[in-house]
């Protein structure tokens, strides 16, 4: 009930982190989440900061807002958030950044919470949703790469 994609980006971990941690830019990168906004006075990526993302599932629908909370925020290294509440997330999305040669190896991952309903969902539809998530993560990272590496 988890997966990840890694892409090498020719930029420093700090420069990449600035993009992946700015949730207000997600609409430029993600094929499903087309906008996001900080909530409750949050203005940036700090642990405990809340935001909501506007999602168009599978790029077609349904469309809905998903509440999120930042659970890891280490500049140049990691940015992660839980979808749902921090103590009972439905899904956790994470970006890990590692210096690699002349740039950064960026890994985006997701992990569904091991609840019975999600285990059943994954057993029945995981093959399809997993493929969609892998493709979406690769698209997101490739779009970030294109922006960061643009001359």
List pLDDT tens digits, range 1-24.
899 999 999 999 999 999 999 999
Domains of the chain (ranges plus CATH)?
2-149 (3.30.530.20)
Residue 96 has pLDDT above 90, yes or no: yes
What is the chain's mean pLDDT, rounded?
Answer: 94
Mean pLDDT to the nearest integer, 106-121:
93
pTM of the model: 0.93
The full DSSP string for the chain is -EEEEEEEESS-HHHHHHHHT-GGGGGGT-SSEEEEEEETT--S--TT-EEEEEEEGGGTS-EEEEEEEEEEEETTTEEEEEEE-SSSEEEEEEEEEEEETTEEEEEEEEEE---HHHHHHHHHHHHHHHHHHHHHHHHHHHHHHHHHH--
């Amino acid at each position: 009930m988890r997966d990840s994609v890694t892409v090498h980006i020719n930029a420093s971990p700090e420069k990449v982190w600035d993009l992946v941690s700015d949730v207000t830019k997600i609409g430029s990168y993600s094929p499903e989440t087309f906008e996001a906004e900080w909530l409750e006075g949050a203005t940036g990526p700090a642990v405990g900061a809340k935001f909501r993302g506007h999602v168009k599932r599978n790029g077609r629908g349904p469309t809905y807002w998903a509440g999120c909370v930042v659970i890891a925020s280490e500049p140049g290294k990691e940015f992660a958030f839980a979808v749902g509440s921090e103590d009972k997330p439905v899904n956790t999305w994470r970006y890990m950044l590692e210096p690699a040669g002349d740039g950064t190896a960026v890994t985006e991952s997701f992990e569904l919470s091991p609840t019975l309903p999600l285990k059943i969902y994954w057993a029945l539809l995981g093959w399809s949703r997993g493929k969609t998530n892998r493709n979406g993560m690769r698209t997101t990272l490739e779009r970030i790469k294109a922006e960061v590496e643009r001359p």
